[in-house]
């Protein structure tokens, strides 16, 4: 009897009302470079067995759940003790009842990937990024993974699928005779997307050189802010989080089905869709973590929420039976060309220390490492320092987006997002 079979046997005899088991078998290769010299190579072969136990109260009015990670080296006694503890812990926790996914069986082979082949491709791609003495790769880390996942629950679900995950962390330096600066990026994808990596790295090098020309950020009162890099994803996470059933149920979000998220204004109307599959994404999972099938679904259409999403517990609390946790996202609805958005006075944020949009308060923050100030008369220059702040709620009616889209791993979003009601704290 293998460990999974032993675990199921123990769970069946534990007094648990329901259970879920997730097994992730991950094989990963990692390579760390300083300039183009290998600092370290690593192999990671890990198996993670996670079990979730559900226990109803005697009168069925509440449902508790508790989760444990069981090491693959656990003895039968350890497994039995862990499961016994879980059943006890679950019995202490009183949640409103909800139903698990079930039943269904499938075995899906997703994207093919070979660790050695992928590693070779990533190493070569990074080695061939064009560089010169003023703009070069300081260091980079390459992570290539393949995970075989199996999900089993007590309602008859037994699903297996595999997925690839790749990540490159890169630091690009730019220098002139006076100073040297760096830019940091973390790129995630399924398997190697050579052209995307090339495009991003070239863009980073260009930004690095522009930062060397930057002057301290001046007062730019009333200037709208353009977001045209991967930081813009945080703006769209605000909408994703505010349509999450958990946020809505807890009244942390005021979004309602059928009610526009913004007063009628001058801005574009956002359309947000869940995608079951997005080419190149590292999140092309056919099922979510609770075994619910992932599919295409409209979330917001023309500023009006049409479906909430999320885990089974909060979805069912909201009366939704067939929802799932989002994996890939497409945001659109822009009516403007990039040229139109890049006209008049504006400040284009190109690099932040850490750009944040708080999903609960709507607060927006970021220290400017590089931005481009454009004046209505056509003049422009690069700036650094100071910060940008604002609130999403103040911007909902006036936000503008480009028609053109750009993909960042599992998100396809407008190339440019323009927010009008922002404060810019300059350093002059």
Q: Which residues of 29-61 are buried (b: 16+ CB within 10 A; e: fewer)?
A: bbbbbeeeeeeeeeeeeeeebebbbbbbeeeee
- Antiparallel, parallel or unpaired: β 380-384 and 215-216: parallel
Cβ 30 to other proteins shortest distance, Å: 7
Rounded Cα distance, 94 and 368, in Å: 46
Instruction: Considering only residues 312 through 351, tell me which ones interact with other proteins, judged by CB under 8 A.
Output: 313-314, 317
Which is nearer to other proteins, 37 or 377 (by Cβ)? Answer: 37
Least distance from C-beta 378 to other proteins, angstroms? 27
Cβ closest to other proteins, residue 1 vs residue 377? 1
Q: At its nearest, how many Å lie between other proteins and the CB of residue 232?
A: 16
> Which pairing describes strands 405-408 and 380-384: parallel, antiparallel, or unpaired?
unpaired
| Total residues at interface with other proteins (CB under 8 A) | 83
- Residue 275: closest CA among 326, 233, 225: 326
Sole binder of other proteins in the list 46, 61, 176, 404 (CB under 8 A): 46
Q: What is the dihedral of CA 6, 10, 16, 22, to 10 degrees?
A: -20
- List % helix, strand, coil for the chain (3-state, nearest 5): 20, 40, 35
CA 231 from chain centre, in angstroms, equals 11
State which residue, 8 or 123, has the beta carbon closest to other proteins: 123
The CA distance from 76 to 7, in Å, is 8
Using CB under 8 A as the binding rule, the residues of this chain from 295 to 314 that contact other proteins are 313-314
Which of 1, 77, 116, 378 binds other proteins (CB under 8 A)? It is 116
Helix (H, G, I), strand (E, B) or coil at 253: coil
44 binds other proteins (CB under 8 A): yes
| Minimum separation from the CB atom of position 105 to other proteins (A) | 26
Beta-carbon contacts of 114 under 8 Å, excluding residues fewer than 6 positions away, are none
Q: Is 380 within 8 Å of 215 (Cβ atoms)?
A: no
For the stretch 98-118, what's the b/e string if a residue is b when 16 or more beta carbons lie within 10 angstroms of its beta carbon?
Answer: bebbeeeeeeeeebebeeeeb
Minimum CB distance to other proteins, residue 377 (Å) = 25
Q: Are 355 and 366 in contact (CB under 8 A)?
A: yes
Quick check: 232 and 404 in contact, CB under 8 A?
A: no
119 belongs to the binding site for other proteins (CB under 8 A)? yes
Among 94, 194, 259, 295, binds other proteins (CB under 8 A): 94
Q: How far apart are CA 317 and CA 314, in angstroms?
A: 5
Binding flag, residue 289, other proteins (CB under 8 A): no
Options 83-91, 103-111, 155-163, 325-333: segment touching other proteins (CB under 8 A):
83-91
Task: Between 172 and 341, name the residue whose CB sits nearer to other proteins.
Answer: 172
Does 202 help bind other proteins (rule: CB under 8 A)? no
Minimum CB separation of residue 426 from other proteins in Å reads: 8
Binding-site member from 4, 71, 107, 344 for other proteins (CB under 8 A): 71
Q: What is the spatial distance between Cα 310 and Cα 326, in angstroms, rounded to a whole number?
A: 7
Q: Minimum CB separation from other proteins for residue 339, in Å?
A: 30
CA distance linking residue 13 with residue 189, whole number of Å? 42
Minimum gap (Å) between residue 125 Cβ and other proteins: 11
178 part of the interface to other proteins, by CB under 8 A: no
Given 111, 131, 148, 169, the residue binding other proteins (CB under 8 A): 169
Binding residues for other proteins restricted to 362-401, rule: CB under 8 A: 362-363, 365-367, 369, 385-389
Which lies closer to other proteins via its Cβ, residue 196 or residue 425?
425
Q: Could you give the 3-state DSSP secondary structure of residue 76?
A: helix
Shortest Cβ 90–other proteins spacing (Å): 7
Query: From residue 23 to residue 42, what is the string marking binding to other proteins with x (rule CB under 8 A)?
Result: ------xxxxxx-xxxxxxx
Cβ nearer to other proteins, comparing 60 with 378:
60
Are 159 and 150 within 8 A, CB to CB? yes
Q: In the bound complex, what is the minimum distance in angstroms from residue 396's beta carbon to other proteins? A: 14
Residues 234-263 that bind other proteins (CB under 8 A): 246, 249-252
Q: Residue 381 half-sphere exposure, CB side, CA atoms within 13 Å?
A: 10
């Amino acid at each position: 009897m293998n460990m999974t079979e032993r675990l199921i046997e123990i769970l069946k005899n534990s007094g648990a009302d329901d259970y879920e088991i997730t097994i992730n078998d991950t094989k990963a290769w990692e390579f760390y470079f300083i300039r183009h010299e290998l600092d370290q190579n690593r192999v990671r072969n890990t198996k993670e067995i996670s079990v979730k136990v559900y226990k109803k109260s005697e009168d069925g009015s509440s449902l508790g759940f508790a989760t444990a990670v069981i090491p693959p080296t656990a003895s039968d006694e350890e497994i039995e003790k862990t499961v016994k503890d879980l059943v006890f812990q679950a019995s202490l926790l009183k949640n409103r009842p909800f139903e698990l996914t079930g039943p269904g069986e499938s075995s899906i082979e997703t994207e093919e990937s070979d660790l050695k082949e992928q590693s070779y491709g990533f190493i070569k791609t990074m080695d061939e990024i064009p560089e010169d003495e003023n703009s070069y790769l300081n260091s980079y880390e390459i992570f290539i993974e393949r995970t075989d996942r199996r999900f089993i629950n007590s309602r008859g679900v037994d699903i297996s699928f595999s997925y690839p995950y790749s990540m490159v962390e890169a630091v690009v330096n730019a220098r002139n005779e006076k100073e040297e600066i760096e830019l940091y990026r973390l790129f995630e994808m399924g398997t190697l997307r050579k052209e995307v990596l090339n495009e991003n790295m070239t863009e980073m090098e260009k930004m690095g050189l522009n930062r060397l020309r930057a002057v301290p950020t001046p007062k730019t009162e009333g200037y709208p802010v353009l977001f045209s890099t991967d930081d813009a994803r945080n703006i769209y996470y605000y909408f994703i989080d505010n349509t999450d059933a958990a946020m809505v149920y807890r009244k942390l979000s005021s979004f309602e089905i059928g009610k526009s998220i913004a007063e009628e204004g001058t801005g574009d109307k956002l359309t947000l869709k869940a995608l079951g599959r997005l080419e190149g994404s590292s999140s092309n999972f056919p099922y979510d973590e609770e075994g619910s099938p992932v599919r295409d679904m409209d979330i917001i259409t023309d500023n009006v929420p049409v479906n909430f999403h999320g885990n089974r517990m909060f979805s069912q609390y909201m009366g939704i039976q067939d929802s799932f946790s989002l994996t890939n996202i497409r945001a659109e609805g822009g009516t403007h060309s990039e040229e139109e958005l890049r006209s008049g006075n504006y400040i284009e944020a190109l690099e932040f220390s850490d750009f944040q949009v708080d999903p609960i308060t709507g607060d927006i923050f970021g220290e400017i490492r590089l931005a481009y100030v454009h004046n209505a008369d056509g003049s422009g220059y690069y700036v650094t320092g100071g910060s940008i702040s604002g609130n999403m709620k103040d911007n909902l009616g006036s936000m503008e987006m480009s028609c053109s889209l750009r993909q960042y791993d599992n998100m396809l979003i407008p190339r440019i997002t323009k927010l009008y009601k922002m404060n810019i704290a300059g350093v002059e």
